[in-house]
Amino acid sequence: MKFFVDTADVDAIRELNDLGMVDGVTTNPSLILKSGRDILEVTKEICDIVSGPVSAEVVALTADEMIAEGRKLAKIAPNIAVKVPLTWDGLKTCKVLSGEGHMVNVTLCFSANQALLAAKAGATFISPFIGRMDDINLDGLDLIADIRTIYDNYGFETQILAASIRTANHVAQCALIGADVMTAPPSVIKGLAGHVLTDKGLDQFMKDWAKTGQKIL
């Protein structure tokens, strides 16, 4: 499973990228707001760091305007994936931009039928939002499994990009289900390294080592 980082924080992206943890980046208008940066500038900086797909989201609501915005975003770098919302106009935009050879990430997906439409419109990525489904007592992981089954049934090549990942369990379950990609904030990715038994075991080793009176260096 590929790891995308869900942030526009350049320092956090650089730190994870240096460790080989970054296969791509996803951003959205809320993350651009959080970064306090200009969208074109910060997206270019991210594309200079990361060689994999970098999603940059359109903000228009009509297809004609989304297409124009998408073409402008795609000019930032060859690894831009234009992110469009899962609306009828977003699907029209997806069809046009993917036909022009651009990567397209269709976002804000909350149903298997939406994912089916995105695949038929030529999406490179479909982004189902797990955490936001869990927020309203629906099972986001079930949605990932349903989309996996449907795409495999018909050989769709659209990659399932599990988004709105909030927990380590989301990550492990997505990998078990067979999501192609997961995108998570840097804090969630770093948190995957933590385990209470690792901390406990290390604490015991340090105590026992101190009793040996030895040094390695």
CB of 2 to ligand G3P, least distance (A): 14
Instruction: Report the amino acid identity of residue 39.
Output: I
The active-site residue out of 83, 200, 207, 211 is 83
Token digits for 129?
């939002």
CB of 30 to ligand G3P, least distance (A): 7
Nearest to 186 by CA among 44, 3, 45, 57: 3
CB of 180 to ligand G3P, least distance (A): 15
Instruction: Report the amino acid identity of residue 50.
Output: V
Q: Is 211 a catalytic residue?
A: no
Q: How many residues bind ligand G3P (CB under 6 A)?
A: 10
183 binds ligand G3P (CB under 6 A): yes
60's CB contacts (< 8 A; 6+ apart) are 66, 68, 69
114 binds ligand G3P (CB under 6 A): no
The C-alpha atoms of residue 15 and residue 158 are separated, in whole angstroms, by: 29
CB of 162 to ligand G3P, least distance (A): 9
125 binds ligand G3P (CB under 6 A): no
Which 3-state string (H, E, C) describes 84-117? EECCHHHHHHHHHHHHCCCEEEEEEECCHHHHHH
**Per-residue x/- marks for ligand G3P, 64-93, CB under 6 A?**
------------------------------
Instruction: Report the amino acid identity of residue 3.
Output: F
Choose one: 15-23, 86-94, 158-166, 192-200; the region binding ligand G3P (CB under 6 A).
158-166
Q: What angle do CA 133, 93, 66 make, to 5 degrees?
A: 90
The one among 10, 15, 120, 131 contacting ligand G3P by CB under 6 A? 131
Would you name the residues annotated as active-site residues?
83
Binding residues (CB under 6 A) for ligand G3P: these are 6, 26, 28, 129, 131-132, 163-164, 166, 183
